Structure 1
């Protein structure tokens, strides 16, 4: 099969993925499922993997290289292990990024993303930038008959990461309260739609890119700001003292130390993007009584909920399609923000 392989880490991002012919995956365990990739989303985490940000977490000795990235996958079941009963060859599926075990305590609580024995295709082992990849039965959700893999592949990670953040925000937001979303890209535009579907709050979208601003307006954000030097003052003026919740989908480049200043007293900031360092004087934490926390990828049931919102037309993925052969063009376009929303690779 054809696959895009990463051979070296490069902080300068000058390295390119190599398109090669490799052996397709084979069934090894009763719960294994081989998926024919219909589409695979391109994620900022993929850029961080190439940069080597994840090397000390998943590959301390460099022994994984070369390997196939791609952790936002949807397609059709190709083959199944002897113990698989819920899907069959030909079924259209979206794949939760974690191959969770189902028996650890975190899994029993429904926290698939905290599974103590999980595997993560595309992040530490071969993923979906290929014709086929292998996962397990627990990771699969059958798609609604009117939904195609191309429409939803990035929702497997970007979508449920955004949805989880929006769901956590919605629990804190009464009708009329304000939520600021910084970065209306692949995650932010999903969070905006999700929050509008499940909450009565008012939304403020912030992004420096005109295309992202246009997308936020198209998707119905109540206010759209360009992220200029007076953005904090703009937010405080709109909200009358700061937002109840701020969702930071950037998490680096200094943005993370602007976002917390947008909160009102007692506000909550969720950091979803990463790469930088949040620096808050302790006096502000105490006097303003603000809260700052991270938000990880969503669990299996959150992906089910997101698929229902998509099937009902309430959340859609804005994407740009690339052939797998053009993966390095897609990476360069993504890195340089030449498209709004998400990049999707199609074998």
Structure 2
């Protein structure tokens, strides 16, 4: 089979030929129908040094995946060949307190996993391939009726990550509240839709690209702003001088973190999701009184079930550009050049093949 591989840190991925994996006990082989190209993969390819993570290349890219159950390993029950499924991306040890609570994103004992990794496409082989080996049925969610794998794949991260972030601040997103979404890319445009689906809060979006601002408006934003020296003041003007109750920063640069700190309301939440590498100077008077500054990482299986349900019922629509597997490296190149609005999705298979 063909697979897009990261051979070494600080390199571009290469399409290679690999044998089709065979599932062992408790494993499931998935025929990949969709794999999202995530901006965080660009950081993974070009910014990490050897030894920075407990795992390293070579591995197949692609950590947001969906497809069809192809082959079941010994002991796997509850799934059938041909069944469409989404893949839960974070694969923890399965035995620590967090994993047992269903939040494998925050696994505390990766050393207990058979192979230390962050999941498929994060140390272990991911979904930018014709087939993906998944270590356990607990990492698979059957797709709701009417949702195909190519559509579902980006929801496993680009939908799940903002959903988790919004849910964390949901108590503050009351009618009359305001949410500020900074960065309207693959995650940001879905964050706007999630805010619309879960709350009655006003939504303001910020992005330097005119195409992204159009996407923000199409996704349901009440206002779309271009970043600049006056942006925080514009946010406060739109919120009658008080600022945003919740700021969701999907960029994470010095500039966007500074904007968030200037625009957030007292008692508000400033949530950093993006991996832009920025820092926020923190002091007593550096942010409004009792503002909570927090990070989030991905989401859990239960939340993914809810995200897929929202999409199946028409509340979430992924704005996506699709690429065949043969053009998967080009998908990342276009993403790096800022030429993708929404999400880039690689589609290795259009239909299930027994």
TM over 0.5, yes or no? yes
Deviation, 1:97, is: 0.2
Tell me which of 34, 37, 61 is aligned to 1:39.
Answer: 34
Q: Distance in 1 between matches of 2:51 and 2:132?
A: 24
1:80-119 correspondence runs (5 A): 80-115=72-107, 116-117=109-110, 119=117
CA shift in 2, pair 1:131/1:232, >3 Å:
same
Q: After superposition, where does 1:165-314 map in structure 2 within 5 Å?
A: 165-239=165-239, 240-252=241-253, 254-285=255-286, 288-314=289-315
Checking the alignment, whether the CA contact within 8 Å between 1:40 and 1:72 is kept in structure 2 is yes
Matched with 1:157 is: 157
Once the two structures are superposed, the pairs formed by residues 45-60 of structure 1 within 5 Å of their partners are 45-53=40-48, 55-58=50-53
Hey, what's the Cα distance between the residues in 2 that align with 1:100 and 1:217?
A: 37
Instruction: Write the distance in 2 (CA, Å) between the matches of 1:22 and 1:8.
Output: 17
Segments ≥4 residues shifted beyond 6 Å? none
**CA, structure 1 residues 287+37, in 2 after alignment: closer, same or farther (shift >3 Å)?**
closer
Secondary structure class of the residue paired with 1:282: coil
- In 2, the alpha carbon distance for the partners of 1:343 and 1:337 equals 11
Q: Secondary structure at the match of 1:24?
A: coil
1:138 matched to which residue of 2? 138
Please give the secondary structure, in 1, of the residue aligned with 2:191. helix
Q: Give the Cα separation in 2 of the matches to 1:54 and 1:94.
A: 31
Q: RMSD of the alignment, in Å? A: 1.7
User: 1:41·1:345 contact (CA, 8 Å) conserved in 2?
Assistant: yes
Query: 1:191 & 1:164 partners in 2: Cα distance?
Result: 10
Q: Aligned to 2:285, what secondary structure does the other structure show?
A: helix
Shift of 1:102: 4.0
CA–CA distance in structure 2, aligned partners of residues 294 and 161 of structure 1: 11
Residue 76 in 1 paired to residue 68 in 2? Answer: yes
Q: How far is the alpha carbon of 1:31 from its aligned partner? A: 1.5
Shift of 1:253: 5.2
Question: For residues 260-312 of structure 1, what are the alpha-carbon distances to aligned partners after superposition, in whole Å with 9 as ceiling and x for unaligned?
Answer: 11111122100000232322341325762221000111100000000110011
Q: What secondary structure is seen at the aligned counterpart in 2 of 1:283?
A: coil
Of 22, 27, 30 in structure 1, the residue corresponding to residue 23 of structure 2 is: 27
In structure 2, distance between residues paired with 1:113 and 1:85? 24
SS in 1 for 2:165: helix
Report the Cα offset of residue 6 of structure 1: 1.4
Instruction: State the TM-score, normalizing by the size of structure 1.
Output: 0.93
After superposition, the C-alpha distances for 1:18-69 in whole angstroms (9 at most, x for unaligned) are 21111121212x2201111101000012101111427434357xxx432211
Q: C-alpha displacement at 1:167, in angstroms?
A: 1.3
Asked if the contact 1:254/1:276 (under 8 Å) is kept, the reply is: no
SS in 1 for 2:321: strand
2:6 and 2:58 in contact (8 A); partners too = yes
Q: 1:237 to 1:56 in 2, by over 3 A?
A: farther
Bigger Cα displacement from structure 2, 93-102 vs 82-91: 93-102
Contact 1:96–1:139 (CA<8 Å) still a contact in 2? yes
Residue-pair matches, total: 339
Deviations 1:150-206 (A, max 9, x none): 111011122110111111222222111111000011001111111111111111111
